Amino acid sequence: MIYTNRFKQILQIVLEQGDAYIPVDELARRLNISRRTVFRELQNANLKPYHLDMVSRQGRGIRIEGDEKDRRRLAADIATDLIPYVSKEERRKLLAFELLRFPDVKKLVVYGNMFSVSETTISNDLDALASWFEHYHIELNRAHKNNIRLLGKEEDRRLAMSAIIHDTIGSKEQAIDYLDADALRHEVFEASQDGILRLLNQDILDPVLDLFTLERHELGLNQYAQSSYIGLIIHLVVAVERIQKGEAIESDPSLCETMRATPAMEQAKAIAGRLESIFDIEIPQAETVFIAMHLSGAKNVDPIDAFDDDQIVEIANDFMNDFPPRIASSLRMDPRFIKGFITHLRPTLIRLQRGLPIYNPLLETIQAQYGELYAQSAHAAALIGEKTGLSISEAEIAFMTMHVGASLERRRFEARQARIHTAVVCASGVGVSALLAARLQHVFGTRLHLVTLSLEQYKTNAYDDLDLIVSTFDLAQGMVPVVKVNPLLTQNDIDHLRDVMKNLEYGAHADPDRDGLEKLRRVEQMTGAARAIVNGLVFANVDPALDWPALVAEAGLLADGSASEVTSALLEREKIGSVMVPELGFGLLHAKTTGVKNAQVQFLWPAQAQEFAAYPGIRAVVVLLMPADYASYHQKLLSSVTTYMMETTNLQQAVFEREERRIQQALSAIYLELIRADMA
């Protein structure tokens, strides 16, 4: 029977008490863990194989009841790390993993005891594993008959470990909140029957899980797929255990030089620093490089790949165009597919270039249930292979099929769904509402037809065609449901909105037909306003030590109009609450004011600095000024700036890179699309 290290510690303490009970509080104190953790471990207690029972008595504690001989057998077994397995193949996989974890010299008898088999059986297993190790350029050295040692580079051992880890956890890609430590612990690590996951040191695993949960935003861990996230946890737990045991970790110096200036290396240093603090260890540079390699293999971007943006887009277009016309047309009309596929394609090509394995636990299911679409995807993927000189694996073709299938299913679903006309209401209709609208669009996609309104607009117009109103402050309930949400749209807000939408009775509203001349007049006005904004863009490098009131004053001075009125309007708006989004790198100042005659946009950067000293993470401040007698298209033009700063767009990148000409071009393209949409 296999138990976690922590449960073994509990068993050892309870066995030491003999027939006496030990209070749970005492157990928690001695193990330096919480009562909750003790109870969680006890829930999985199964002593039936030893004919023993774990007995609990309220007010007294717990004890183990049974024959003394069975107690001694349990005590002996928990003192030895036994590894269960269900087949010869699984035993060999576990043996390989154990050798890779701790590659120092060990005797055959150690592994024989570990797997409860003879030394001859272990010797036969090693003979069978030799060619598998050779595939990863690792030598299974048995110069001394009864001693075993792995020879090879650390990076090759890591790659081999990754193969076993992915083979084990690949089938566990499941619908759980894997960013929640308790869910991950229960659903993957504790519920697992796989020996590899049960081998992990629980005293190291728990703090790592807690770190990844509590500081995942700061460490940038939200972006990874489930298998990459879990794989990183496993690698870190094994690495910390090796460092605690004093084992040397080395890597190729050239690899360190390659990774040195990459974002992945900076992220790895942050993770390593937190681990050093938690476990009171010193993580060598070689291990930090390996963490960076793991991150680099899982990230959406990599600065040292051989494909530029234009090549990636061209490859994606070739892929789409190879499908039958009906599917190709549908894919080209789906911006979510195009963006998602391009984001997926770059790291995929990097992994293939570097010879890193790609795993897809759903491969056989996709081939069986979506055979025709898989075949079409395989044909299109062959073009990618010809263009790049890379071999596209079946696992990767299955991932591509999933992207295509998701797009087609989404199109079918959206065709059956009436769109919910939703107003997003905030004080001005430009700042917070645009941020909130971007988040709503990201979560609900085209299910919502969104308009942003100021409080004044909401109060002075009927808006009979609305199905739903979303606001950041309390509004009186009327014929149209009103949902108050946090400006950052929390998970509770999302769940509440889904419930409201599920029960909402609505019709598919159509915009009223407008007279052709009126439409042309509006397009002309909107085009003129857009041209005025782009031509009047303000770019300024300001003192990085400025605080928020000083930045407001600076924006007032830079405005084309009355500096005092603009400053006053911005300060009045700031009383409602500042809009700073450090996780996205920008702050927002916005107001409606009599101090300007035309809508204006400013971009303020900290001079000779990456961010403002008083506001960590803020790399730029965007200022949006709307005239008091504005038209609805002014509001749409300004709010689109906020919307496009919320995503990794050409505008956002140009702002952060301080490329003024590129900002003008990006904003012009955005406005052109808005005008085209308004003409439809």
- Residue 615 pLDDT greater than 50, yes or no: yes
pLDDT category at 601 given cuts 50, 70, 90 is: very high
CA distance 590 to 17: 68
Determine contact, residues 345/414, Cβ cutoff 8 Å. no
Average pLDDT over residues 76-103: 69
Element (H, E) at 484: strand 482-484
DSSP 472: S
Helices (H), 32-87: 35-43, 68-78
Q: Comparing 306 with 115, which gets the higher pLDDT?
A: 115
Rounded CA separation 486/196 (Å): 42
Closest CA to 403 of 318, 322, 316: 316
Q: What is the pLDDT of residue 360?
A: 59
At residue 77, the pLDDT reads 66
| Number of other residues whose CB lies within 10 A of the CB of residue 357 | 15
User: Do the domains 88-152 and 5-77 match in fold?
Assistant: yes
Instruction: Please state, in angstroms and as integers, the Cα–Cα distance from residue 203 to each residue in 31, 78, 305, following that order.
Output: 10, 16, 38
Does the pLDDT of residue 400 top 80, yes or no? yes
Mean pLDDT on 170-193: 45
Q: Which of 93-107, 179-193, 360-374, 588-602 has the lowest mean pLDDT?
A: 179-193
Annotation: CATH topology of 88-152:
Arc Repressor Mutant, subunit A (1.10.10)
Worst-scoring range by mean pLDDT, 329-338, 385-394, 498-507, 615-624? 498-507
**pLDDT digit string, tens, across residues 508-561:** 444 444 456 667 777 888 888 999 999 889 999 988 998 888 899 889 988 888
**Structure token digits, residue 526:** 């909107």
Q: Are 430 and 452 in contact (CB under 8 A)?
A: yes
* pTM for the whole structure: 0.35
Burial class (CB in 10 A: 0-12, 13-18, 19+), 365: exposed
Q: What are phi and psi of 53, to 5 degrees?
A: -130, 140
User: What is the spatial order of strands in the sheet that 579-581 belongs to?
Assistant: 538-542, 600-606, 620-627, 586-593, 579-581
Mean pLDDT of 468-479: 81
Taking only the tens place, the pLDDT of each residue in 180-191 is 445 445 444 544
pLDDT in tens, 638-660: 988 888 887 778 899 999 999 98
The residues spanned by each domain of the chain are 5-77, 88-152, 158-298, 309-411, 417-503, 516-679
pLDDT at 453: 82
Is the pLDDT at 668 greater than 50? The verdict is yes
| pLDDT score of 619 | 93
Q: Give how far Cα 459 sits from Cα of 30, 159, 453, 575, Å.
A: 63, 62, 10, 21
**What integer pLDDT is reported at residue 194 of this predicted model?**
41
| Architecture, CATH, for domain 5-77 | Orthogonal Bundle (1.10)
Residue with the bigger pLDDT between 517 and 141: it is 141
Asked if pLDDT for residue 2 goes beyond 80, the answer is no
Q: Is 32 left (phi over 0), alpha (psi -120 to 50) or beta?
A: left
CATH of 516-679, one of 3.40.50.720, 3.20.20.70, 3.40.930.10, 3.90.1150.10: 3.40.930.10
pLDDT at residue number 154: 77
pLDDT, position 191: 43
3-state secondary structure of 65: strand
Q: Specify the CATH architecture of the domain 417-503.
A: 3-Layer(aba) Sandwich (3.40)
* Mean residue pLDDT across the chain: 77
301 pLDDT more than 60: no
pLDDT of 377 > 90? The answer is yes
Residue spans of beta strands (DSSP E) within 320-462? 420-426, 448-454
Residue 78 has pLDDT above 60, yes or no: yes
Q: Give the per-residue pLDDT at 561.
A: 87
Q: Which residue has the tokens 């309930």?
A: 477
Q: What is the pLDDT of residue 175?
A: 38
- Res. 505: pLDDT tops 50: no
One-character DSSP codes across 437-456: HHHHHHHHGGGEEEEEEEHH
- Beta-carbon contacts of 31 under 8 Å, excluding residues fewer than 6 positions away, are 6, 9, 10, 13, 38
Q: For residue 563, how many other CB atoms are within 10 A of its CB? A: 16
Which one-letter amino acid corresponds to residue 184? L
pLDDT tens digits for range 617-632:
899 999 999 998 777 7
What token pair was written down for 643? 């919307």
**Which CATH number does 309-411 carry?**
1.10.1790.10
Which tokens hold the place of 300?
């959406």
Out of 8-12, 108-112, 306-310, 550-554, give the one with best mean pLDDT: 550-554
> What is the per-residue pLDDT for 64?
92
- Confidence at residue 417, expressed as pLDDT on a 0 to 100 scale: 55
User: What are 3's two structure tokens?
Assistant: 């138990």
Cβ 651 vs Cβ 670: under 8 Å: yes
pLDDT value at residue 93: 79
Q: Is the pLDDT of residue 168 over 60?
A: no
Q: What are 112-136's pLDDT values in tens digits?
A: 767 767 778 888 888 889 888 888 8
What count of residues does the chain have? 680
476 close to 448: Cβ distance less than 8 angstroms: no
Range name among 15-24, 135-144, 207-216, 411-420 with the lowest pLDDT average? 411-420
d(CA 588, CA 618): 10
CA distance 281 to 242: 11
